[in-house]
Structure 1
Amino acid sequence: MSEAPAFPSRDAIVATAQESIARGSKSFAAASKLFDRRTRERAWLLYAWCRACDDIADGQDHGHTMSVVDDAPERLARMTAMTEAALTGALIGDPAFDALRIVAAETGMPHAFARDLIAGFALDAGDWRPRSEADLYKYCYHVAGVVGCMMAVAMGVSPDDAETLDRACDLGMAFQLSNIARDIEEDDRVGRAYVPEEWFVEMDIPPGQHMKPPFRARLAVLARRLAERSAEFEASARVGTPKLPFRSAWAVLAAADIYGAIGRAVAERGEHAWDHRVTTSKLDKIRFIARAFVAAGRRQALYPPTPREIEWVRPGR
């Protein structure tokens, strides 16, 4: 009688997830080290699945070398099938999707969140582009805001705590808006554009011409607008940190500082924002982590409960 195949242990999948975040995002890897061990491992597991889906969708390797794919529907179908199987508790045999299986089971994460993220990849697979600012927020929710919700659940936030999930979603929205501002040139190279079409019309930038030298100054205005929107979502997200344990709040505030710096740098560089990819240095990360430590200790005073002023409603609310 043949023996059943041996599947990797939880520890092995966690180790693979740690390797994934180290390769895919130095910023998130640095912030994740501030969590307690259980939360840190769950953050790595969640990141590994998100990263794998993104790589499948865009033909990337841990977020690098994005390329045009000619089989987007097939890729979407594959990640959807593996995600749905993982949510049922099935052993997948792919470390990233088994990572989702583990973190979803351990935290009671709503399956709708995972499906909302897959819906974001479906938008890209359909060559969807935002027409309005509302469309932009829809996209940001599906590819990042919902990840904030999932990460909050991984930190121990109840799936029923809608207010805290809203704030967590806001942080994901802030990250994505900074990403969009930073990656305008990179996205253009593969035929994508996430700046709303109405914004291009407003600045009299012809379709598909936004990276051309004559329009760089106008594009810089829109990049600053993205950075400003990102800052608004980030400020809203900080109000949710008093609900978190100290170490989780520390990690969240550090990530907010690190990613906020990216948006600010894009805005400050103006039309030269895309000459070189905007990053934060190791020294900057250390400085932000130290600053976040102080802010986490004072979070009750720094971020008192205030009405959420952003005129945007998270899907499912």
Structure 2
Amino acid sequence: MTRRELDAAGIRQPAMRAAYRRCRRLNAEHGRTYFLATRLLSPARRPAVHALYGFARWVDDVVDEPARGTDDRERRLGRLDRALRAGLDTGRSDHPILAALVDTVRRHAIDRALFTDFMTSMRMDLTVRDYPDRAALERYVHGSAAVIGLQVLPVLGTVSEVAAAAPYAAELGRAFQLTNFIRDVGEDLDRGRVYLPADELAAFGVDRERLAWCRRHGGPDARVRRALADQVARTKAAYRAAEPGIALLAEASRPCVATAFTLYGEILDRVVESGYEVFGSRLAVANSRRLSIGLTAASAATAARVTSGLRLRSGSSSRAGRQRARA
């Protein structure tokens, strides 16, 4: 993490700066789209987002570690959960990732219940292998994704009451997660999981066995293509429902979220254009497209920060003028 970001965020203590840097590395290594979008935030906001992402990624890696059995992963997750609770109780932690997370929660007054819900969904990944219907899946998605949007919201800031923006933030987290479920069908099968509702797949004559057959053969058949087209349509509806919330964010934060919104949404376009080839290599938005969107958003982010700065200075000058007049 750059010294400029840490200084801007008021993070001074060396061990805490190291903790935030570790979270930033996790974001850069594993969350290319999120990391690019985070670069569009003001320097002061970036460390907190890195801390939230780094924590979520760390827990996800514990859950998915292939070399360890379910019992071992459950014990590790339990220790992690206890350390998280202790850190949130005391306001400090010696763990190099939890230290940054606890500091971020304190600085931005993030609701602790969001982390309880997150850990509940992470535990589900240890034993739940499929979901019979949308309602069952949504219980998992709430904790694994919707709460992430709610965690980040206080960091981004809003121009409305937070309660007005919260449903949109949760919906966008949900849309991102549903996109992952479609893109990663093959990888999830390798982990023994299917994150697509069984009843919705069955409407097209698809079940786990048919998905596994497509994984073995490296491509979808006609039934699976139709089932995935239905999942793409449902996920695009989630993006449409989330989009109005971008305008409710602080102006300087909008380019970041708009970029993630666009790039993640375009993963679905790549899925469709490929003929729903989600059983081989992972589909991604081309680097040239990412660069183009990133450069445009960077210009918008710079302009928004300049405008915000001018407004703050103008407001300070006006207040000073009123004080002089009263004197």
Contact persistence 2:117–2:147 (CA under 8 A): yes
Structure 1 unaligned residues grouped into runs of 5+: 1-6, 60-65, 299-317
1:296-307 equivalences under 5 Å are none
CA deviation string 1:99-157 (max 9, x = no partner) = 21011000110001111111111211222521112222222221111101101122235
Among 42, 47, 50, the alignment partner of 1:44 is: 50
**2:236 match:** 231
CA contact (8 A) 2:159 2:250 kept: no
Match of 1:281 among 281, 286, 300: 286
Partner of 2:198: 197
Shift of the 68–132 alpha-carbon distance from structure 1 to 2, 3 Å rule, reads farther
Answer whether contact 1:45 1:103 (CA < 8 A) is retained.
yes
The Cα shift of 1:274 comes to: 2.5
- The DSSP-based 3-state class of the residue aligned with 2:90 is coil
- 2 CA distance for matches of 1:68 and 1:258? 34
* SS of residue paired to 2:275: helix
* Structure 1 CA distance for aligned equivalents of residues 91 and 141 of structure 2: 29
Calculate the TM-score normalised by the size of structure 2. 0.80
Distance of aligned partners of 1:204 and 1:68 in 2 relative to their CA distance in 1, 3 Å threshold: farther
Q: Given the alignment of the two structures, is residue 254 of structure 1 paired with residue 255 of structure 2, yes or no? A: no
* Alpha-carbon separation, structure 1, partners of 2:209 and 2:80: 30
Return the alpha-carbon distance in structure 1 between the equivalents of residues 160 and 137 of structure 2.
25
Question: What is aligned with 2:319?
Answer: none
Q: Does the C-alpha gap of structure 1 residues 34 and 53 become closer, same or farther in structure 2, counting only changes over 3 Å?
A: same
Unmatched segments (≥5 aa) in structure 2? 1-12, 305-327
CA distance in 1, matches of 2:67, 2:290: 29
Q: C-alpha deviations, 1:255-282, integer Å up to 9, x for none?
A: 0111111122112222423322111232
Q: Secondary structure at the match of 2:274?
A: helix
Contact 1:180 1:195 in 2 (8 A): yes
> Highest Rg: 1 or 2?
2
Distance 1:28 1:281 in 2: 15
Alignment of 1:53-72 (within 5 A): 53-59=59-65, 69-71=69-71, 72=73
Q: Secondary structure at the match of 2:128?
A: coil
Deviates more, 1:130-139 or 1:188-197: 130-139
The residue type paired with residue 255 of structure 1 is: A
In 2, the alpha carbon distance for the partners of 1:196 and 1:284 equals 32
Is the Cα–Cα contact under 8 Å of residues 56 and 79 in structure 1 kept in the other structure?
no
Q: Match of 1:267?
A: 272
Instruction: Indicate the structure with greater helix content.
Output: 2
Q: How many pairs does the alignment contain?
A: 286
1:173 corresponds in structure 2 to 174
Q: 1:43 to 1:12 in 2, by over 3 A?
A: same
SS in 2 for 1:180: helix
Q: CA deviation at 1:67?
A: 6.2
Contact 1:13–1:99, Cα closer than 8 Å, also in 2: yes
Residue 216 of structure 1 contacts residue 271 of structure 1 at CA under 8 Å; is this kept in 2? no
Q: Per the alignment, in what secondary structure is the counterpart of residue 291 of structure 2? A: helix
Give me the whole-angstrom Cα distance separating, in 2, the residues matched to 1:225 and 1:89: 47
What residue number does 2:9 align with? none
Give the aligned partner of residue 308 of structure 1. none
Contact 1:250 1:292 in 2 (8 A): yes
Structure 1 residue 295 displacement after superposition: 8.1
* Alpha-carbon separation, structure 1, partners of 2:178 and 2:107: 30
Q: Are the equivalent residues in 1 in contact too, given 2:165–2:249 (CA < 8 A)?
A: no
Alpha-carbon contact 1:140-1:173 (below 8 Å) kept: yes
Seen in structure 2, the aligned counterparts of structure 1 residues 52 and 206 have a Cα distance that, compared at 3 Å, is: closer
CA contact (8 A) 2:157 2:250 kept: no
CA distance in 1, matches of 2:114, 2:47: 19
Q: Do the aligned residues in 2 keep the contact of 1:254 with 1:288 (CA within 8 Å)?
A: yes
Structure 2: distance between partners of 1:206 and 1:44? 38
